[in-house]
Amino acid sequence: MERPEAIQHIRAAALQIAVSVTSIHPLVPKLADAPTQAELIKALYELTKQVEVVKKHLLKLEKRDDSAVL
């Protein structure tokens, strides 16, 4: 598997994670337990941040020029 294909697969997996995390958000209030809800919201936020880090690094890698400096 070449780099562009690996990037594409990782990006697709990151999107699936983001969609899953987003689908959890509306369910949290239904738990009706403030401490649990607060912790879940924090955890979901952290997951979202980490997925964005993955996407950011993939974008940097795609834009990087691997040619040797002359």
The domain locations on the chain are 3-18+28-58
Token couple for 37: 């809800």
pLDDT value of residue 64: 84
Q: How many helical (H) and strand (E) elements, i.e. helices and strands, does the chain have?
A: 2, 0
CA diameter of the chain: 63
* pLDDT of 70 over the 70 cut: no
Where is pLDDT greater, at 69 or 40? 40
CB 54 within 8 A of CB 10: yes
Instruction: Look at residue 27 in the predicted model and tell me its pLDDT.
Output: 97
Q: Residues of 34-65 as b/e, b for ≥16 C-beta within 10 angstroms?
A: eeeeeebeeeeeeeeeebeeeeeebeeeeeee
